[in-house]
């Protein structure tokens, strides 16, 4: 894999002394792993780096050493930026609210993402690689690094593996492809111990007893639609305030939702008192409607992992009903297309 944008990216990096590495407002193992990998790679080049994210790193990501170096404000002086695992301004709301997105726009900006096309793209980006064929942003960074002959320290390779495992759910979903396995093999050959990474992740994924009990509440609240093919659950602001600081409710329950017989799509809604609604969408193999469903509401993502955010306007119950109706339409369309190919 060779990227035509590679030389332009290299030129920006070579000319910059201080580079800001930006994550979106929904950090995950891919975004944080990619950011930390770039921090190490650019450090090898002698560059100063600052890690930025508009929100606090969730506790389940604290197994990635360096999470505590991520800052919630941009530095006043820098030479260039790299936005990882995002190619839409919709996911950079905190930057826009603070006015600091103008700072990024005033300097060379690189976007490295692997999501499908999205609404509200980052128009000020100087150069962007958006490769939907990659399983994670970390995989993209690894391949770009090979093309540009970057030195990848062992720590950077560990972060890249963590990013891949995060977005592919441990190499189990359909984002995983032959290139992903080849990259994983090269990382193992480079000295990365996958079993150790998994032990660290599991240690930080352990839940307090309050979260264990709350999980039962969410399971009891989960509702089925589309003849049992779609399972959804709604989380109000009051519960977000209490439980989100301890554990992100979406990954707490979504895996179990997808393990339920006949369920093909799992949707976790969060609705806030100011009218904002977010949705995390995950799909089982063979039901990859996630990106199209999210895009209908101005969001984006992969076929099997996506999400959207709506900033008020429509009552939550109406928005949820619309989302579930459209999910049903997409599943019916998918089944028709699959039947036509038999």
Does residue 319 belong to any structural domain of this protein? yes
- The residue whose two tokens read 């603070």 is 98
| Structural domain total, the chain | 2
Asked if 39 and 58 sit in the same domain, the reply is yes
Pick 313 or 320 by higher pLDDT: 320
pLDDT category of residue 339 using cuts at 50, 70 and 90:
low
Question: For residues 161 and 186, what is the distance between their CA atoms, to the nearest angstrom?
Answer: 10
Last-in-domain residue among 168, 202, 236 = 202
What string of H, E and C letters represents the secondary structure of the chain?
CCCCCHHHHHHHHHHCCEEEEECCCCCCHHHHHHHHHHHHHHHHCCCEEEEECCCCCCHHHCCCCCHHHEECCCCCCCCEEEEECCCEHHHCHHHHHHCCHHHHHCCCEEEEECCCCCCCECCCCCEEEECCCCCCHHHHHHHHHHHCCCCCCHHHHHHHHHHHHHHCCCCCCCCCCHHHHHHHHHHHHCCCCHHHHHHHHHHHHCCCHHHHHHHHHHHHHCEEECCCCEEEEEEEHHHHHHHCCCCCHHHHHHHHHHCCCCCCEEEEEEECCCCEEEEEEEECCCCCCHHHHHHHCCCEECCCEEEEEEECCCCHHHHHHHHHHHHHHHHHHHHHHHHHCC
pLDDT category of residue 274 using cuts at 50, 70 and 90:
very high
Q: Is the pLDDT of residue 250 over 70?
A: yes
Q: What is the CATH number of the domain that holds 217?
A: 3.10.310.30
Asked if 118 and 226 sit in the same domain, the reply is no
pLDDT category of residue 306 using cuts at 50, 70 and 90:
confident
pLDDT of res. 234: 98
Does residue 253 belong to any structural domain of this protein? yes
Q: What is the CATH number of the domain that holds 121?
A: 3.90.1640.10
Asked if 28 and 103 sit in the same domain, the reply is yes
pLDDT of res. 41: 98
Does residue 1 belong to any structural domain of this protein? no
Mean pLDDT of 46-60: 93
Q: Which two tokens stand for residue 340?
A: 């036509």
Asked if 170 and 276 sit in the same domain, the reply is no
Last-in-domain residue among 184, 202, 220 = 202
Question: For residues 235 and 271, what is the distance between their CA atoms, to the nearest angstrom?
Answer: 6
pLDDT category of residue 283 using cuts at 50, 70 and 90:
very high
Best CA proximity match to 87, nearest among 63, 114, 65: 114
Q: What is the pTM of this model?
A: 0.84
Asked if 183 and 229 sit in the same domain, the reply is no
Q: Which domain holds residue 163?
A: 6-202
Mean pLDDT of 2-13: 97
Mean pLDDT of 10-22: 98
CB atoms within 10 A of CB 212: 12
Pick 120 or 133 by higher pLDDT: 133
Q: Is the pLDDT of residue 272 over 70?
A: yes
pLDDT of res. 192: 97
Per-residue pLDDT tens digits for 191-233: 999 999 988 888 877 889 999 999 999 999 999 999 999 999 9
Per-residue pLDDT tens digits for 65-100: 999 999 999 999 999 999 999 998 888 989 999 999
Pick 202 or 30 by higher pLDDT: 30
- Range 256-263 contact pairs with CB under 8 angstroms and sequence separation of 24 or more: 256/219, 257/222, 257/231, 257/233, 257/282, 258/282, 258/283, 258/284, 260/231, 262/228, 262/229, 263/224, 263/228, 263/229, 263/230, 263/231
Report the mean per-residue pLDDT for the chain. Answer: 93
Q: Is the pLDDT of residue 338 over 90?
A: no
Asked if 175 and 281 sit in the same domain, the reply is no
Asked if 191 and 122 sit in the same domain, the reply is yes
Per-residue pLDDT tens digits for 155-196: 999 999 999 998 887 887 778 899 999 999 999 999 999 999
Asked if 18 and 150 sit in the same domain, the reply is yes
Asked if 279 and 213 sit in the same domain, the reply is yes
Last-in-domain residue among 202, 220, 244 = 202
Asked if 197 and 213 sit in the same domain, the reply is no
Asked if 189 and 72 sit in the same domain, the reply is yes
Q: Is the pLDDT of residue 342 over 70?
A: no
């Amino acid at each position: 894999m060779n990227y035509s944008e590679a030389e332009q990216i290299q030129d920006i990096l070579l000319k910059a002394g201080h580079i800001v590495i930006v994550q979106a407002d929904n950090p995950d193992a891919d975004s944080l792993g990619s950011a930390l990998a770039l921090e190490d790679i650019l450090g090898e080049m002698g560059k100063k780096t600052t890690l930025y994210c508009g929100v606090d790193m969730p506790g389940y990501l604290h197994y990635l050493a360096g999470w505590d170096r991520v800052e919630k404000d941009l530095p006043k002086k820098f030479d260039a930026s790299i936005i990882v695992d995002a190619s839409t301004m919709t996911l950079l709301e905190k930057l826009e609210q603070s006015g600091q997105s103008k700072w990024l726009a005033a300097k060379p900006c690189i976007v490295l993402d692997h999501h499908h096309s999205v609404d509200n793209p980052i128009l000020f980006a100087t150069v962007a690689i958006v490769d939907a064929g990659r399983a994670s942003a970390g995989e993209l960074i690894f391949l770009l690094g090979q093309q540009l002959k970057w030195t990848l320290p062992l720590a950077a390779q560990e972060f890249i593996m963590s990013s891949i495992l995060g977005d592919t759910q441990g190499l189990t979903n359909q984002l995983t492809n032959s290139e992903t396995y080849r990259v994983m093999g090269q990382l193992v050959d480079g000295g990365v111990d996958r079993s150790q990474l998994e032990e660290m992740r599991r240690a930080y994924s352990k839940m307090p007893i309050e979260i264990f009990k709350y999980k039962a509440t969410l399971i009891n609240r989960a509702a089925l639609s589309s003849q049992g093919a779609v399972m959804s659950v709604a989380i109000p602001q009051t519960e977000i305030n209490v439980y989100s600081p301890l554990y992100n409710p979406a990954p707490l329950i979504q895996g179990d939702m997808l393990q339920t017989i006949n369920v093909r799509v799992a949707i976790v809604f969060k609705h806030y008192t100011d009218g904002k609604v977010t949705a995390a969408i995950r799909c089982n193999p063979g039901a990859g409607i996630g990106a199209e469903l999210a895009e209908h509401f101005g969001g984006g993502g992969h076929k099997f992992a996506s999400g959207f955010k709506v900033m008020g306007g429509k009552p939550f119950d109406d928005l949820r009903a619309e989302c579930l109706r459209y999910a049903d339409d997409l599943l019916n369309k998918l089944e028709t297309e699959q039947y036509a190919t038999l």
